[in-house]
Amino acid sequence: MDRMLVVVFDNESKAYEGKKALLRLDGEGSIGVYGYAVLAKGADGSASIKQGDDVGPIGSLVGTALGSLIGVLAGPAGLALGASVGLLAGGSADVSNVGIGYDFIDDVSKVLLPNTAAVIAEIDEEWTTPVDTRMEAIGGTVFRRALSEVKEQINEENVAAMKADLAQLKEEHAKAHADRKAKIQEKINQLDSKIQAQLQNEKNRRDALKRKAQARVQVLKDKAAVKAS
């Protein structure tokens, strides 16, 4: 099952231990790690996303979920740094792009306080014990949430509703007096623009998911090649 994982530690050093433990689990085959980053919060609450080997193997292609979650948890300062290393490609710091609920963000935010750090990852996990056992031994607090497919249904329903409104406006426009036609036409144009923007956003999301799936396949192939060598 695809999940978003956040493990919060009381200092940056332990977060790096957590990162290494996560990658060891991946190497053992207990989980699959598709992207990850270490986020640290300073004494003033500002966040920074660590670079170098702390960017996951396909970090630049998981912006639809992982990058957006990092942006939401890091805030504006972390968002800017994340974009500079490609973590937010194809996404934005909007919880609606993460595919998980506001309650998850709230739970993590209550623990991810100044002078703490977290490992944030997108993983494939069949059972929770391996990650929980390793992370708890280091002192990490684990949060996880399955990635939701609900967003696609919501988008489709939203577009359908707007199209219904558009059809009604066009019907009213056809029957309206001359002095009302211009105002109704303005509403028609505005609503049509919103529909087109929504459709384009959905296309961008689907394209990003397609790239992400292709990148995952490549990650698995690379891992298999390493094991075979």
pLDDT (tens, 9 = 90+) of the chain, 229 residues, equals 788 899 999 999 999 999 999 999 998 989 988 888 899 998 888 888 775 344 444 444 344 577 778 878 876 544 444 443 444 433 444 555 556 667 788 889 899 999 999 999 988 888 888 999 999 999 999 998 877 554 555 567 778 878 888 888 898 899 888 888 888 898 899 889 988 888 887 787 778 777 777 777 777 777 777 777 7
Helix, strand, or coil (residue 56): coil
Domain of 78 in residue numbering reads as 2-147
pLDDT of 219 reads: 73
Nearest to 107 by CA among 66, 72, 82: 72
Q: Are residues 163 and 142 in the same domain?
A: no
> How far is it, in rounded angstroms, from Cα 72 to Cα 95?
7
Q: Are residues 117 and 155 in the same domain?
A: no
Kindly list the distances between the CA atom of residue 97 and the CA atoms of 29, 114, 131, 185, 187, in Å, as whole numbers in the listed order. 29, 25, 25, 32, 28
145: amino acid identity, one letter = R
Q: Are residues 95 and 160 in the same domain?
A: no
Q: Are residues 34 and 128 in the same domain?
A: yes
Contacts of 109 (CB under 8 A, 6+ apart): 73
What pTM, to 2 d.p., does this model score?
0.65
- End of a domain among 89, 121, 147? 147
Q: Are residues 47 and 117 in the same domain?
A: yes
- End of a domain among 88, 123, 147? 147
Q: Are residues 114 and 212 in the same domain?
A: no
pLDDT of 55 reads: 47
Tokens found for residue 144: 């996880």
Q: Are residues 77 and 162 in the same domain?
A: no
Q: Are residues 134 and 175 in the same domain?
A: no
> How far is it, in rounded angstroms, from Cα 52 to Cα 72?
21
- End of a domain among 99, 123, 147? 147
> How far is it, in rounded angstroms, from Cα 145 to Cα 140?
16
Q: Are residues 51 and 86 in the same domain?
A: yes
**Overall number of domains in the chain:** 2
Q: Are residues 110 and 170 in the same domain?
A: no
Q: Are residues 129 and 58 in the same domain?
A: yes
pLDDT of 83 reads: 40
Q: Are residues 116 and 197 in the same domain?
A: no
